[in-house]
Amino acid sequence: MIDWLLAPIDSARGHHLTELVAWHARVMVLAWCLLFPIGVLIARFFKIMPKQNWPEQLDNKTWWRGHLVLQYAGGAALLAGVVLIIATPSEGAARGLHALIGWSITSIAITQFLGGWLRGSKGGPTAPASDGSFDGDHYSMTPRRRIFERIHKSVGYIGLIGAVGAVLSGLWLSNAPRWMWLTLIMWWTALIAAALFFQRRGRAIDTYQAIWGPDSNLPGNKIPPIGWGIRRPRASTQLKSKQPDQPK
């Protein structure tokens, strides 16, 4: 059994990689199979923490900090992987289908970071504008914020789907041993199972309500939530009496 697991997936080819290409594969798997997807799971399903007394307790930043750390760590690993493969342009991993998918999802990652940096201001009671009002791209759900959310969410999921193709094509190109295939397939299966579990539990909660609550008078609650499968939970008490009056 051990010999079978250690053998390459294609017995007609060998499994020989230079050190640089091997490290390229390791850091790319770290970025696209571990850091980025876990960061997405946290952002989608943990905007309201399990023991958080929502809507009495609003704007729990645990999800935001976790998402930010994991995505930046994934970006650093991605950058290292790009540098490593550029340093070995004659390798097969730099050509063909794997390269096409790899550069495509790298472009997606760059788009995601740029979008995050250009998403606009927050606004609201905890981050008022310079004039003291609550105006902000997120609080007011300006067109800039709505465009950002639509692109950021949809393109992010496309990137994760593309990452599966990049990893599988890389495994085939390098003729990776069977244990690598099995490990990554089981890991992705676990991630999908976790996502389905949390989705069924109704944990894909609207970011706007997680931050500012369910008051129907808030500007962001007057428009439909952005993204598929996003839930707006009903609170037993509205926040009209708890939200500070907007400065005139």
State residue 144's pLDDT score. 97
Count of domains for the chain = 1
CATH, residue 147: 1.20.120
231 belongs to a structural domain: no
State residue 1's pLDDT score. 84
State residue 11's pLDDT score. 85
State residue 233's pLDDT score. 82
What are the residues whose beta carbons fall under 8 Å from the beta carbon of 90, sequence distance 6 or more? none
204 belongs to a structural domain: yes
> Which residue range is the domain that position 118 belongs to?
17-222
pTM score: 0.89
135 belongs to a structural domain: yes
Ranges under pLDDT 50 in the chain: 92-93, 236-244, 248
6 belongs to a structural domain: no
- pLDDT tens, position by position, 21-66: 999 999 999 999 999 999 999 999 999 999 999 999 999 999 999 9
123 belongs to a structural domain: yes
State residue 246's pLDDT score. 53
12 belongs to a structural domain: no
State residue 91's pLDDT score. 54
Q: Is 2 helix (H, G, I), strand (E, B) or coil?
A: helix
238 belongs to a structural domain: no
114 belongs to a structural domain: yes
Give the DSSP per-residue string, the chain. -HHHHHSBSSTTS-----HHHHHHHHHHHIIIIIIHHHHHHHHHH-SS-TT--TTTS---THHHHHHHHHHHHHHHHHHHHHHHHHT-TTSGGGSHHHHHHHHHHHHHHHHHHHHHHTS----STTS--TTSS---TTTTT-HHHHHHHHHHHHHHHHHHHHHHHHHHHHHHHTT-BHHHHHHHHHHHHHHHHHHHHHHHTT--B-HHHHHH-S-TTSGGGGSPPSSTT-B-PPPSS-STTTSPPPP-
State residue 95's pLDDT score. 65
